[in-house]
A and B are shown apart, each in its own frame.
Chain A
Amino acid sequence: MEITLTHYLVLSTILFSIGLVGVMRRKNMLMLFFATEILLNSVNIGMAAISHYRGDYTGQMFAFFIIAIAASEVAVGLGLLVIWYKRTGNIDLDQMTSMRG
């Protein structure tokens, strides 16, 4: 069976859904970061696939940018996470309610 654009897009959609559910359901901050990474990378897959099938490299370039930005984001985010853990002893999302409206 030949692998077509549709397969890639279906994969991308499945990954995006998994990521979205993760973002919504997870209470562990670290898991939240993982879910975010899944979201970003599902989009990367879609971009790279469309770019390949259209013969236009803009999408792949964009995917690289996203990877770079995701890496820096995770670097900053993990740093903050470590400080938070040192302060409070947990990384439970439900405990972070100091910005209550």
Chain B
Amino acid sequence: MEIYLYIALFAPLVGSLFAALFGASPKTLITGLVASGLLFASFVSSALLLGHVMNGHIVHVEMMTWIATGDLYIPFGFVVDQVSVTMMMVVSVVSTVVHVYSIGYMSHDKGFNRFFSYLSAFVFSMMVLVMSDNFLGLFIGWEGVGLCSWLLIGFWYHKESATWAANEAFIMNRIADLAMLIGIFMIYWNLGSLQYDVVFAHIGTLPLAVTTGIGIFLFIGAMGKSAQFPLHTWLADAMEGPTPVSALIHAATMVTAGVYLVVRSNPIYTLIPEVGTAIATLGAFVAMFAATMALVNRDMKRIIAYSTLSQLGYMFVAAGLGAYWVALFHLMAHAFFKALLFLGAGNVMHAMHDELDPFKMGGLKKSMKVTWIFMTLASVALAGIYPLAGFFSKDLILEVAFVEQHYVLYGVLLATAGMTAFYSFRLVALIFHGDERHLEHGIHPHEAYTFMLYAMAPLAILAVVAGMMFKTPYYLMVSELLPAAQYHIHNHMTLWIMIIGTQALVIAAIAYAYKKYAKAVKVDLKVESGFFYQLLFNQYYIPKIYDEIFSKPYLQLSKIAWKQIDLKIVDAMVDGIANLIYQTGESTHTMQNGNLSSMLRWMVVGVVVLLVLAVAFTVAYNNAVNLHAM
């Protein structure tokens, strides 16, 4: 079984290096095919490992020693257990689909080969992240996905906005990663090991304050990667990258790494339920906060990004309340339908010549039937309508909140579920129904390549069946590793009222979205100029506040540092040394006038100096010896 582990882990790396060989040359189809093929191999290996794990076996290998000094011993160790195999399946399925899709999506791009190199490198980093058996290996993968995310957001580096977004994402993640590193240091400092099994076995022996500190610092790391408030602004801006990147990295895999970290560290968070409650509260806040921004946004990809943010909030609610398997389950289901939604958006963008404003589209269901069906399916799944994936995973989180008696969280999540349905179908209605507004702009849409649609089909199937088919076997599998808790509402009456009530709310929201946007789009100026609309449309002015509070003072500080410190102190010192040497040269080069007579004179001067030195040192030495003798 170890060989499958290595194939699953290293096949993407091989694909990345292969594509990198052709990185500077124009499009060669082979790179896309090889990278996709190797990812498929990774997927097959993951599936075989899944079968192995479901039979109750865990694969744990120590590939080689990494750091061994003194008491510090950290190997390159990998573990495939119930949690990591779930993540491996999600990562490999979505990334295989996205790779095949990208062959079509990027087919006219100059950086075709480079794109595949980055994309496969990302998958490799993600695999390291989820498969590592210690915190430091996880951190390496964590930084690796951060780097690949930076490369891919800024893929079209000639665009100012893309490089800006890439840097924003990278810098925000660095802030959080510092906290995460502190958490890892605290673990090592107190327990002397970073291996998961050792740490989790001994975490109970630590004082509660230390455990709380570890939990908080690790969670701050997770907040950065999963774009939780207040480090959330990068995710919406990251939509500058190519759409397959958004589907793979900023919806399905990388942003869920934070949830994975919390789920993986569940023995730590189980000990500190107060932190868990704080996580859940923040999650619920973010769920609603992001959903409200998605209600009014006019950028197709940003709407989906806010939706991702909102769903990540849901996952953190589940993880914070101790329902780790529910969080992981929603992570999986969400990865499928959200990636599908993004890939559908990619098709629409291609058809619309990169137009992102859904108010300039409309009526696309005629020309893009399959994309319409896929995106509608994904939206239905996202809204959580029976029997699609979202119903099983998202409504489960609502039940968790209810059973754990956090009724405020429940209320917030319920309202958010309504909003989710509304903004999803607002998008679908604007894009696919109503008048063909894009004709005014002279755009004639066309459906994407057939093989791209076939590539999306597995995700569509999974979005439909993942909840219904996988819930029970998945629960049986992960409950061996994660705390097994069934969240049943014992009163049947309450249960049915809740289910029917939620479904009715969601369907009503969908119907309202269709009614408002499916026919003619009427712009209600009174609403749009209102305070709340403007507040939401400007993303609560948070980007502006960050700009004022952090960016501008920092720019001022940098200017001072540049003009006062760098130019006047550092540069002055360096230039001074250089000038001194130049001037010495200027004033002494007359010595070398080629006149033998003056050369001889300098020679004599040299001899005299050496002689004086020799005498002086001899005298000094003799004195020292005499003193010593006395």
Contact = CB atoms under 8 A, between A and B. Distances in A.
A24 B601 contact: yes
B596 interface: yes
A86 interface: no
B593 A100 contact: yes
Interface of A: 20, 23-24, 26-27, 93-94, 96-101
A20 B601 CA distance: 9
Interface in B579-609: 589, 591-597, 600-601, 604
Contact of A93 (B591, B592, B593, B597): B597
B594 A24 contact: no
Contacts of A27: 597
Contacts of B601: 24
Dominant secondary structure at the B interface? helix
B150 to A, nearest CB: 53
Contacts of B596: 93, 96
Contact of A23 (B593, B595, B604): B604
Contact of B594 (A20, A23, A97): A97
Contacts of B597: 24, 26-27, 93-94
Residues of B in contact with A, size category = 10 to 19
B589 A101 contact: yes
Contact of B595 (A20, A24, A26, A94): A94
Interface in B595-630: 595-597, 600-601, 604
Contacts of B589: 101
A101 B600 contact: no
A97 B593 CA distance: 7
Nearest to B593: A100
A96 B593 CA distance: 11
Contacts of B593: 97, 100-101
Nearest to B607: A20
Interface in B242-285: none
30 contacts: A20-B604, A23-B600, A23-B604, A24-B597, A24-B600, A24-B601, A24-B604, A26-B597, A27-B597, A93-B595, A93-B596, A93-B597, A94-B595, A94-B597, A96-B594, A96-B595, A96-B596, A97-B593, A97-B594, A97-B595, A98-B594, A99-B594, A100-B592, A100-B593, A100-B594, A101-B589, A101-B591, A101-B592, A101-B593, A101-B594
B585 to A, nearest CB: 11
A96 B600 CA distance: 13
